[in-house]
Amino acid sequence: MSDNSVKEKVVSPEQAAEAEKFKESANVYFKIQSYDEAIENYTKAIELNPYMASYYGNRSFAYLKTECFGYALNDASKAIELDKNYVKGYWRRAAAYMSLSKFKLALKDFETVTKARPHDQDAKLKYTECFKIVKKLAFEKAISIDDNKKNIADSINLDSMAIDDDYNGPKLENGKVTLDFMKDLLKWYKEECKLHRKYAYQILLDVKNWFMAQSSLIDVTIPDENKFTICGDIHGQFYDLLNIFELNGLPSETNPYLFNGDFVDRGSFSVECIFTLFGFKLLYPNHFFMSRGNHESAIMNHMYGFDGEVKAKYTNQMAALFTEVYNWLPLAHCLNKRVLVMHGGLFSRDDVTLQEIRETDRNRQPPDEGVMCELLWSDPQPQMGRAPSKRGVGVQFGPDVTHEFCKLNGLDYIVRSHEVKNDGYEVSHDGKCITVFSAPNYCDTMGNRGAFITLYGKDMKPQFTSYEAVVRKNINYF
């Protein structure tokens, strides 16, 4: 008899039965991908019967689905504590460790799963994938001593890339992005055709050079009568990106945009999204802005699809070049010295200034702690103070933290993205913290609306436009 079954006797039969009802309800919500409701019901089951490993294991899985990796890790560990033979607990914990880039710990748990289930092919595949990552990271660490600053960009020879005679897609004019090129590119992508690799590489090399010359914090001036648009996560949803341009107009010098990170991963058209955004950046470098998100990283791109998409549509070399470009993306933007925009949120310290953000070394993969990490990963919470992050990276920060940060830096409010919201946006912390998320029906499952923010320089008052996901075959914008 396991410890788990002994502990169950502490709970009355009535409580155990009621807990099972909540668990069954949670399972139904999980199957229809209503993960928040599933988590709520698993939590009620746990409150009634805190000794069932499967309740924690199931809730851990739901937390993984909502990208709350820290909570998922805690629940999986609790499940294993209750029942050391509960294989799904090791499986869930390994998945959480993978999402947190803790690959050696993930490998150990995957090894436990494969030993318990030697004929489980999925477990073997996951173990092998994780093993390859651990080996690859060890190899890269070993060679980095002698080859730390080798740039992929330096190895690319555009002259050797011939344009095929039968290519009739968009073409750069004298190597430069033009408005006609961008309009042709959007039409080309709507037809689900591929931009020629020579032009794709040219865009990446040019945009890297532009970002390299920028600070980690970009100051943006918005004249009194000018409109400015802030968009949140896009996540490879190209047809929803087109819908934003349909609703709000194409980017231009009189219609500037800021896209606030997580341009790629999850969605099926991440390549199309990123080249569209980089193209507009090159066309209107002083009126089109991009912030780095937590998904603009090598590990996240490997885990959530962008790396594989680039390799399938182009080459392994281009996938590596994207990592170089992402390392130079700015971390935040300050609008009219009154509004700070970053992907994730605020900090574990009270004394962080705009100048410190400006001077932050960003040419690297996101670290596990510190200012850069928190800019990309943190989330607001309704409670005062700070708490460990539900994601396992960054922090959760309360209204008092936001107020103090704004006061210290002379800001009206902050804008961040990073979290799915039912209406595509949320105003919290007494109006001092605004979340905007621009990928409707995220992952084709969440049912949320997307949104973008427009404001004018004279008052910087945010206005919200919320919209549904589009059906791509019905789109005919250009």
pLDDT tens across 434-452, in order?
A: 999 999 999 888 889 999 9
Mean pLDDT (the chain) is 93
Specify the range with the lowest mean pLDDT, choosing from 62-71, 148-157, 190-199, 315-324. Answer: 148-157
Round to whole Å and give the CA distance between 213 and 287: 16
What does the block give as tokens for 176? 């430069």
**Which are the catalytic amino acids?**
295
Interhelix angle for 270-283 vs 238-248, to 10°? 40
Rounded Cα distance, 478 and 473, in Å: 14
Residue 227, SS3 per DSSP:
strand
Confidence of residue 139 (pLDDT cuts 50, 70, 90): confident
Residue 325 is predicted with a pLDDT of 97
Where residue 333 falls among pLDDT bands split at 50, 70, 90? very high
Rounded CA-CA distance 476/239 in Å is: 10
pTM of the model: 0.89
Geometric angle at alpha carbon 355, from 334 and 214, rounded to 5°: 65
Distance, in Å, from the CA atom of 326 to the CA atom of 168, rounded to the nearest integer, reads 29
State the number of CA atoms in the 13 A half-sphere of 441 facing the CB. 12
Tell me the one-letter amino acid at 371: V
CB distance 293 to 376 below 8 Å:
yes
For residue 138, count CB atoms less than 10 angstroms from its CB and return exposed for 0-12, middle for 13-18, buried for 19 or more. Answer: exposed
Residue 43 CA to residue 13 CA, distance in Å, equals 18
Per-residue pLDDT, averaged over 157-162, amounts to 92
Query: How confident is residue 137, by pLDDT bands cut at 50, 70 and 90?
Result: confident
**Predicted local distance difference test score (pLDDT) of residue 303:** 84
370: alpha, beta or left, given left = phi > 0 and alpha = psi -120 to 50?
left
